[in-house]
Structure 1
Amino acid sequence: MHHLLYGLAANVALPSALVDRLIAVADAETAGVLAGRQDLTHEQAVALVARDADTDQQLAYEGLLTAADVDPATHPDAALTLLDRRAGNPEWARVLLKDPLVRNRERLAACTGLPSDAVETLAADPDVRVVAELAMWTTPDRAAVLARHPHAEVRRAVAANEAAPPDVLAALMSGEGLPPARWCLVCDWEETPFVHPSECPRRDCDLRPGESCDGSHDSTVHRMRQQALRNPATPTHAVVGFADHPSSLLRWDLAGRPDLPPEVSGRLAVDPSPGVRADLAGNPAIGATLIRAMAGDPDNDVRRGLARNPHVPLDVLAHLAGTTRIGSTLLPRVAAASPDEVEELAQSPDPEVRMLVAQRRDLPPEIRDALAADPDAKVVKSVAPHPGLSDATLRAMVDRHGVRVVAAVAANPDATPSLLADLTRHEPPVRKALRAVARHPRATAPALLACLADRQAGPLAACHPALPQPVIAELLTDTDPRVAEAAAANPSLPLAVMSDLVARR
């Protein structure tokens, strides 16, 4: 019975009066589903929290609870959510500062606009995790102060703060001008030197595998530099020296920065780590010259990164298409191609290139239709979901290429009901096509009934509004609880059946 109520709670056609009745009898799981409804009123939200207090955070996030509805002492999750959305009462901070749960004080530290005395208290919290969370989100002035904190974990958090002053971030990278840190999370717990094992026997240990401290807080300093490298506010001059750093992880983070000077990009292009080169390959900061030089890289991920670079020259992209596993995706350079370039790509002798342009969904009709008639199945599969294709064209695709294109044809938004029904009877069957049909808004009862027999497509078909009402009602007793729950969520479920389900609860 419970799974039927979960489905009913998600049913978009459930009348408001039945929502009220369901709130009154909801268990925790049903209440969680009800909290996600888009049509909940403020009054229903308040009633739902009274029924199940654990829904308060979600309802606050959705804006269904206001500051007047929330007591921070009894509903700290909702209060913290409203504070985070700048919709709460900043004075609540003085209550929440006393919360014994560290995670709640951490959430409070991430909020902006708090009273200055509350921020001072958070900065002196006895748990360094709270101070670190404050450091990650605080103002430039306070970030500058916390960068000198004696605990390395706080400095690591400052390095991730995009509001931190650039000179402070540069100092964290170099260590110059700052007093040495005295503690880190590793030496808080262990005598140094210490390396945390990957299989730690302690259940209360929060250290990551491999974290270490030899007195210099080395693993925390490493993570701090990673955070600063990822921080766009860190000045370029402070990061370029890491192109030759022994740590491939630091070079990897450097390779993704949008401010790389050409000489640094050139060094990273020949980095021994494929991951570094792959991140550099996708970086829009590199120019055509370097892209061409990297096009022969032996690593597939590097070449894939180049293919996804929005500035890759089309001739290089055409070369990469023949040597690289790119996948079925619309590449940025193809999406930005001019009409003349689209025509050039569509007329390429290489089917891999034609497949790339076939991923666009705004092709001129003449190009779209030419690709639909392409002799290569992968090109046809790519263009099959394109809107505007006629029923005759879609059927011709299936006739020529069979199972290789059936699922893509079923996903076409203009597929006719009769075509969708025919696709469910295709021999041999294509299970992925059944799932596409079950989701299709134009699917009718004959096609959906065929989908119900498939284990994966069945739940999708059970919630389709085109199913006949007697079938939906019958599915409520299906042996597969996923199908029964989906039937309860079907907006075509008769009102009388909805009422009966609530009453039976």
Structure 2
Amino acid sequence: MNHLLYGLATNAALPPELLDRLVAVADDDIAAGLAGRTDLGRARANALASRVEESAVRLAYAGRLTAADVDPRVRPDAALALLDEGAGAPEWAFLLVTDPLVERREKLAACPGLPPEVVETLAADGDVRVVAELASRAAPSVAAALAAHPHAEVRRAVAANERTPPAVLAALLTGEGLPPARWCPVCEREETPFVHEPQCPRPDCDLLPGASCDGSHESTVHEIRRTALENPATPADAVVRFADHPSVLLRRSLAARPGLPAEVYGRLAADPVPGIRADLAGNPAIDTVLMRALADDRDHGVRRGLAHNPRVPLDLLVRLAATTKLGAALPPRVATAGPAEAAELARSKDPAVRVLVARRRDLPAGVRDALAADPDAKVLASVASHPGLSEARLRSLVDRHGVRVAAEVAANPDAPPALLEDLSRHEPPARKALRAIARHRNATGTALLGCLTDPRARPLAAGHPALPPHVVADLLTDADRQVGEAAAANPSLPTAVMADLLRRPGPS
């Protein structure tokens, strides 16, 4: 791969005449960069597809090729891409449904809006992969018919389809009313009884570890049940019987489901498997009484799941924050707290609670500024990138806590150029801050030069349009290919240098 020409292919400032020359020398990698350009145009797209046949699919998905540009007999894969986008000619489906390549028929089965005759042909396809793909998204009547397919893998696909009628999903859970399946992915290729060993030595084997069949297709039947239990269209009265099933995976599939009776949730809350209780704790459908019981669970993951439940009472969340590491994600209940609640959280005596609300980026100015004056460095690091903080406040944060908050201050969208320059020269160096500066829209050339000293910030700075053009040009020969590629994509790269890259393609 010529990384410099690939970078050049994505350069927004590439002049039209150089774009034409790049299309004329493109290979598959360069074509991948060109396909996303909004200024490519129909003529160049067709020229690129003619030069690099593999690029036609990318160009079709990107909207650079249309139905008028594609002959399905010549470019069937591009035609499938357009059908997948709903932009192809409906009559193409009649041609592609008989394509000798199973991968193309499988792709066709995933396309929306297929004519009924084509759907019927796909449903009778001799390759189970095609039928399963169709079953996973088919209309209710087609899905209902395929639920009785002799191959269990097709039934599993029907179980995943949210358009499958509820009564059919219930039947897939129990097998009642359906003829027994005749094949599954295991017995169609192995002598039964067979259990697939976890460390299979065969490089061409695609059976899942533990897949098994003794004639009852047990591992695939288990997957059918798990899939149906996770399908929101499966009726609640059909799934509740699995709350005490021996399979951990099946019980876990219930824990996150809405609409189950409180009694079932109560049984799952007593499950010996912590992961099941953790999934249940995060389920917005459980009531407050159960939430308060789960708050005393000994497992850390259960309490953390409860803290991220969108409906957890605020007082309970405050309690959990004091005893549980909640991770970096903003809990939904904090994200939706009203102005009065946010102010209350910001006044908490516990810094762990103040950290949570400080992660919000839509706080009222008074709450934001109060948190920016907090004595706890973790709170300050959380609020430092909040929009609206003045330069004086941002500088005060750095003066008080240095590298502990420098990266977050540098990530503030309102950080002014002068502050970013000062942060780029901070002693001791704030490495994470340099990476934030290299991404910042307000970064100056001076600040970006400082970023070039950090290996992880260097590729980011190389692509920043504020970097001086002569520096961008020098970075084309950088030992790090990522840096050179970013420099080639930088719109500040001088046009003469772009032209020179096309005259001497450079390293590949």
Q: CA deviation at 1:158?
A: 0.6
Determine the structure 2 residue equivalent to 1:237.
Answer: 237
Structure 1 stretch 77-86 or stretch 305-314: which is displaced more?
77-86
Kept in 2: contact 1:94–1:118 (CA 8 A): yes
For 1:244 and 1:40, the matched residues in 2 are separated by: 59
For 2:289 and 2:167, the matched residues in 1 are separated by: 33
Letter of the 2:25 counterpart: V
Letter of the 1:153 counterpart: E
Q: CA deviation at 1:410?
A: 0.7
Kept in 2: contact 1:59–1:65 (CA 8 A): yes
Letter of the 2:102 counterpart: V
Q: SS state of the match for residue 239, structure 1?
A: helix
Residue deviations 1:224-279 (CA, integer Å, cap 9, x gap):
11111111111111111111111111111111112222111111112111111111
Q: CA deviation at 1:397?
A: 0.8
Determine the structure 1 residue equivalent to 2:479.
Answer: 479
For 2:473 and 2:491, the matched residues in 1 are separated by: 12
Kept in 2: contact 1:112–1:138 (CA 8 A): no
Segments of structure 2 that go 5 or more residues without pairing to the other structure are none
Determine the structure 2 residue equivalent to 1:418.
Answer: 418
Kept in 1: contact 2:243–2:267 (CA 8 A): yes
Determine the structure 2 residue equivalent to 1:339.
Answer: 339
Q: CA deviation at 1:171?
A: 0.5
Letter of the 1:83 counterpart: L
Q: CA deviation at 1:100?
A: 2.8
Q: SS state of the match for residue 186, structure 2?
A: helix
For 2:253 and 2:45, the matched residues in 1 are separated by: 44
* 1:2 matched to 2:34: no
TM-score normalized with structure 2 length: 0.97
Kept in 2: contact 1:328–1:382 (CA 8 A): no
Determine the structure 2 residue equivalent to 1:265.
Answer: 265
Determine the structure 2 residue equivalent to 1:444.
Answer: 444
Determine the structure 1 residue equivalent to 2:398.
Answer: 398
For 1:260 and 1:58, the matched residues in 2 are separated by: 44
Determine the structure 2 residue equivalent to 1:107.
Answer: 107
Residue deviations 1:431-453 (CA, integer Å, cap 9, x gap):
11110011111111111111112
Determine the structure 2 residue equivalent to 1:178.
Answer: 178
Q: SS state of the match for residue 249, structure 2?
A: helix
Q: CA deviation at 1:312?
A: 0.6
For 2:32 and 2:390, the matched residues in 1 are separated by: 44
Residue deviations 1:38-87 (CA, integer Å, cap 9, x gap):
33222222221112111122221122211121122232221111112221
Determine the structure 1 residue equivalent to 2:492.
Answer: 492
Q: SS state of the match for residue 114, structure 2?
A: coil
Determine the structure 2 residue equivalent to 1:83.
Answer: 83
Kept in 2: contact 1:473–1:487 (CA 8 A): yes
For 1:273 and 1:74, the matched residues in 2 are separated by: 55
Determine the structure 1 residue equivalent to 2:360.
Answer: 360
Structure 1 stretch 256-265 or stretch 430-439: which is displaced more?
256-265
* 1:25 matched to 2:25: yes
Determine the structure 2 residue equivalent to 1:293.
Answer: 293
For 1:349 and 1:198, the matched residues in 2 are separated by: 51
Determine the structure 2 residue equivalent to 1:146.
Answer: 146
TM-score normalized with structure 1 length: 0.97
Kept in 2: contact 1:358–1:368 (CA 8 A): yes
Q: CA deviation at 1:466?
A: 0.8
* 1:201 matched to 2:201: yes
Q: CA deviation at 1:414?
A: 1.1
Q: CA deviation at 1:136?
A: 1.0
Kept in 1: contact 2:35–2:64 (CA 8 A): no
Letter of the 1:138 counterpart: A
Q: CA deviation at 1:462?
A: 0.8
Determine the structure 1 residue equivalent to 2:167.
Answer: 167
Letter of the 1:499 counterpart: A
Kept in 1: contact 2:335–2:360 (CA 8 A): yes
For 2:37 and 2:78, the matched residues in 1 are separated by: 18
Q: CA deviation at 1:300?
A: 1.8
Q: CA deviation at 1:430?
A: 2.0
For 1:298 and 1:36, the matched residues in 2 are separated by: 51
Segments of structure 1 that go 5 or more residues without pairing to the other structure are none
Letter of the 1:282 counterpart: G
Letter of the 1:454 counterpart: D
| Structural mapping, 1:189-228, within 5 Å | 189-228=189-228
For 2:14 and 2:334, the matched residues in 1 are separated by: 44
Q: CA deviation at 1:16?
A: 2.5
Q: CA deviation at 1:185?
A: 0.9
Q: SS state of the match for residue 325, structure 1?
A: coil
Residue deviations 1:469-499 (CA, integer Å, cap 9, x gap):
1111121222222211111111111122212
* 1:39 matched to 2:39: yes
| Structural mapping, 1:115-154, within 5 Å | 115-154=115-154
Query: Share of identical aligned residues, percent?
Result: 68
Q: SS state of the match for residue 71, structure 2?
A: coil
For 2:433 and 2:24, the matched residues in 1 are separated by: 41
Structure 1 stretch 164-173 or stretch 277-286: which is displaced more?
277-286
Letter of the 1:229 counterpart: L
For 1:465 and 1:111, the matched residues in 2 are separated by: 41
Structure 1 stretch 92-101 or stretch 482-491: which is displaced more?
92-101
Structure 1 stretch 151-160 or stretch 45-54: which is displaced more?
45-54
Kept in 2: contact 1:407–1:436 (CA 8 A): yes
Kept in 2: contact 1:23–1:47 (CA 8 A): yes
For 1:32 and 1:480, the matched residues in 2 are separated by: 21
